Structure 1
Amino acid sequence: MLAAVVARSSFASASAAVAPACFASVAAVTARRAASGFALGSDQSVISQWLSGARDVSDIQYFLKHFGESAAATKDAAAAGAAGPKTAVIKIGGAIVEEEMHILAPAVSLLYRLGISPIVIHGGGPQLNKLLENAGIVPEYQDGMRVTDADTLKIAQRVFNEANKLTIEGLSKAGIPCAPCTSGVLYADVLDYSKWKLVGKTTGANSKLLNELVGKGIVPVITSLAQDKTGQTLNINADIAACEVAKAVNPISTVFLNSTGGIPGEKGQIIETINIHKEFDHLMGQAWVKYGTRLKIKEFKELLEDLPKASSVTITSTDHLTRSLLFGKCAKGTTVSLGRTSRAAAALGGNAAGARSFSTSAAAAASAAARAATKSIGVGIIGARGYVGRELIRLLGDHSALELRCVGSRANAGQKLADHIPEFKGDLRYEALPPDDIAKHANDVSVWVLALPNGHCGPYVEAIRKLSASQKDRKIVTVDLSGDNRFTDEWQYGLPERFRERIASASFISNPGCYATGAQLSILPLADVLAPNNPPAVFGISGYSGAGTTPSEKNDVNYLKDNIVPYSLVNHLHEREVSRQVGSKVNFMPHVAPFFQGITLTTDIRLNVKLTREQVVQRFQDMFGKEPLIEIVAQKDAVPVVKDNAQKHFVRLGGFAVDPATNRVVVVATLDNLLKGAATQALQNINIALGLRELDGIQSE
């Protein structure tokens, strides 16, 4: 029977080669669903529907790579207590509930039977407007969001409950087990009562409930209503609700279905791709980007910055839902990403066939060209061969005022920088750059970055000081990434969150260490109430990029495989650094793990006073709540993890566990050791010292 199914496909010879894997994958899903009590029909019917949507063998290969599973793997996952299904968040508009359920339900059913667990969030705008009109209430909007007074909210609750019922009925007829989620899923505070009345600003979603339903094979169907701490129901824009749910469950894909099949551009044509980091500012400055479109793009930006960097958001029509999810190709619609290669392109080994016909990236390219023409401040990096130097070079490429004009490396002297760092565009070559050659760059370099091993900076610092003394008409800034100058008052310690004003007037700045950055941010809000003679204990794990490029056991991937290696368990440089900065002895135990980049720190702190968890969190909010590169994860039981902000610029602080019996607090911090732990922080310090925008070159990431 399987052979007959394959033979009927439009590319039978190619699909026959992968058909056994297809059948095994679908059989495994069917077995898992059946074990949960759900009958899904024959494997052959599922494969037949699935193959009808595939256009070539690369579609099948993409599916098997991202969603395929064997019966053995499913059995192992079940034994380990894993939920099994991969989650997709699907937001549907009110018009789809009323008019396109006959298209949506079979599509969701196919996804479900292929092992993808949908979470559906629905709106009800058209229905609500109709009932408001019947009640003599004129709908009012501010900045793309509905003003919701008490009367409007009552009608909205009735409309959304009815839309929820219709959605569940439609999906259930297609054989999909569903659960109504009309309350208890979304949490919110009142956004601005004077402006929007009973409209909420989401603060989180009930991930425990959602994961439990998904784990049982049940599809949650969620209304866009939330509750605040008092139990007051608040209206939430359905797009915002979907984004909040996506943040909570970290789905494989987030899809928004609407009648237009994407985001319309200035002349009504569908924008096919949006690179958020490169195009956001440009889009926000366009007169045609307003109301709901403006709100959507802002929410998508916030969502993507919270998800793994390869994530994307798709806005498409109902009839393109399955192709978008199963094969990574949005045949019609808008794909919004952070700007990296799409999963579809990666699966095909490069750019996906059929280049996008319309994008706002042309304006972004023009903006980049304008920046290049106005770069006026030269930067020199000494020791630019390592991982941190590479990251800093990449960041400088997006800076509006800084230009890399000198790179020093004895090992690579004479070689083109672009041959080693493909992200760099230009003909700049490495120089051997001994200290005596610093003076040769007196007229073209105003910022020196020392990216050298500990103990090697002295001669260069002396040469830069001589140069600075002879160039009193301009400021020359030096940032040392090593630990050589972190223990002297002659250099300004470069933690912007604490010393921003001092950094602004400094010329010599010592960049904090990677571990030290996360550790002291975990301790500083509690530094005034530390218990005497009971120092904080910091357990740290870093990716092996922290060990640099010189070969050792700490960056030997074979030695690190299935391993975590402790090292320098007493008197580590960062232990002394953090102790100096927080004004109290700190014990630090570092380890290296087999992932490439990222750091997690768990800090055990004993206090001399009793504080509740809420009081602890408030201290962190008071000190860091307005910091652009610090995120406070305040939700109870929410713990930052490495993968969520590896390759991102911010520090996450969370956990905040409190034992009132012993006055013990445990804080968890995560950060990227190469970025906020090094290159990002260095660029922050340079920007502040030169009076530039603090996040220039960083924000554009």
Structure 2
Amino acid sequence: MPLVNLLKTAVQNRATIKNKFYALVTYQNVIGTKFNNSKRLYSTRSTVIQLLNNIGSKREVQQYLKYFTSVSQQQFAVIKVGGAIITQQLPQLASCLAFLYHLGLYPIVLHGTGPQINEILENEGIEPDYIDGIRITDPKTMGVVRKCFLEQNLKLVTALEKMGVKARPITGGVFNAHYLDKDKYKLVGQIDSINKNPIEASIQAGALPILTSLAETDSGQLLNVNADIAAGMVAKEFKPLKIVYLNEKGGIINGNTNEKISTINLDEEYDNLLKESWVKYGTKLKIKEIRDLLMHLPRSSSVAIINVDDLQKELFTDTGAGTLIRRGYKLTCYNDLSKVNIKLLKNKLIDKVDDIDEYIKTLIPGTFQLYADEPMEVLAIVKKSIDNDNNGISKLDKLIVSKSGWLNNVTDNIFKLLEKDFPNLYWIISETDENMSYFFGKSQGSYTKPGEVLFWYGINDLNNVTNLINKFVDNKNNNQSNNNSGVFNSKNQIRKFHSSKINFGSKKVALIGARGYTGQNLISLLNNHKDLDIGYVSSRELCGKDLIGYKKQSIKYSNLSFDDLKRIEKDGEIDMWIMALPNKVCKPFVEAIEEVNGKGKIIDLGADFRFDKSGKWIYGLPELKGRENIIIANKISNPGCYATCAQLSIAPMKEFINLNSRPNIFGVSGYSGAGTKPSNKNDPKFLKDNMIPYSLTDHIHEREVGFHIGNPVSFMPHVGSWFQGIAMTVNIPLKENHGLTNEKVNEIYNEFYKGEKLIKILGNDIPLVHDISGKHGCSIGGFKISEEGDRLVVVGCIDNLLKGASTQCLQNMNLALGYDEFEGIPEF
């Protein structure tokens, strides 16, 4: 299959495949069709480029190949679509299904129509009636149900056909059922059997089957069936690799942390999960139903609960876009080999040790712990420390993970056990290991030598780190010698031990376009940073003048050309390039640096790359977007000031937002936010006793907030008469029956930002500009729910020049360059 072969090549060079995409047209058979038609050619080009944009690593390509080549067309996925998604996110849904279709994959799609039914009934003055969560369906309601199903089915099919997708509406003839309880629920059915013929005929004809959950009795009476149950019955019949439930939350949310759960391996986690205090009502029922469903399917099958925007990411990458639920295998810990399948163990070690029998002899009871699932898809062997050389630090001696183990995140469960059983641990991997970013995320620190990387966690004593590194580099003398770098002798090199990486030695940064207020604040922060030094400062207007305020050394502004950038990057002089340029100016500077393929990383303070979908740029908001991606990033887009404050203010409430409305944001910034170019918006005389509204629709930060929280917002910016600091009042529309109180909201925000050093939650107290000006964090408070319970007001305050720009930039630089995240940042 040519597409598969090309994707294998993409494992080595993803960019080359994209740039040479036109080579695809020379193949006669790509994803099951010839390029006979210019429209289909364009569609296929778009599809493959879209796929490559979503695949970011060798492991993800392997996952795609695994799925694409191992199943028949009708066994790829069953996708259950909620009725609200057809109403609110039809273009996104149709696009995702078209993407699969053009790859030659035919998911079975089954949709509901609950919200549409309720709307029609309410318009007709009929109160929807439920018993035990089941809709009472009398003949009049059934007429509405049937009408809605036909309308929504046609709407989805039509949207697909407009995208060049052949789709077949299947509104009946699939589900045979009997009355669930005719007296109690009226025309509600319980499915007895499924007629596969209409579905298989649709797929054989090259059309996506689009099903409703209407069922029929033997006599032909229509019965209403819950769409989730119908989707589960289809899955039991076809046994697909994936069963996908599309919902608004985009996954199962951990009620304690407010974070989305990435993976649930039921055999390992089910019993403990049901004991969690937040697992109740609908969540508990959903988990139980999914477990029952998966018990009827092969272990290779899984259930994904995701947002429609993340559908293709969930199917083709391991980004953790939603919640993946699989049976998995229960992990077992062994401290002797008597209960271990030795034959299977030897088979797993065959390529990992030179002499298997000799290695197994070293596994003496009490000196090791072995963790594995039943098929040993994941195998970890820890050798306990039994001498003083390692200062009581045990070693993860072997970690063997199959492709399936990586793809299904079983490795995460292994590390949970390791962290529980071993408070400190170290391990060594090859420098070329394709899962390097994963190990960075699981470690506290690292040290690299040619060919290998040492990782560790839980080691909080610098002497222990020194000894460990000395041993790693084969230096048996733990005292400092002439062969050592001497970095451990300098007090200035001592690192704080936090979750970020530990990296020794100073690094140089270059500021391009640093004359503005943000550049000045960043220079001040770098002046107090122990290990980041300025190498170049470039400004056309200030070229030749001294850099004021930087005390480490004397530096003059230069006016670097593109050729200068290439030379500096090629010579490896700069570790981090900071682009402090106006919007839409940055791109050629980035391209010049990229051209020489040097080591320098890039952070852009402007808006040019905040909407990147290629995966090349990481959005640098550590508190919300995660630190692990920033740690391994080569290019970082620094968020906008208003956008930072708005996202931090809204994020904890995301699951409670009423999607039929949108948050409204009223923001007022000090006039430093208007830049240094003279105008009424930064003229203190004009602003005295005044406030200036501007860009009241379509402000770029309005789009930025909506893009990154996944929900559109309305934003109205203003300029006030003070110099720096933002006051922001956010009105958040709430779903019905949210169960929130002011106290509960305060509890949610405190839990959401627990441990975040630059976020302060003030509860009912309202943050004020004069308290945040000159400070390096964000204050959030003033929580107030309306009497009607339909909206929540939140107030956020941030210094637009600091956490809104330069402080956040330094957070991102510290993470990306291997320092403690808060190095050089004053306490907030």
The normalised TM-score by structure 2 is: 0.38
Larger radius of gyration: 2
Q: Which has the higher contact order (CA 8 A, sep 6+)?
A: 1
Greater fraction of residues in helix: 1
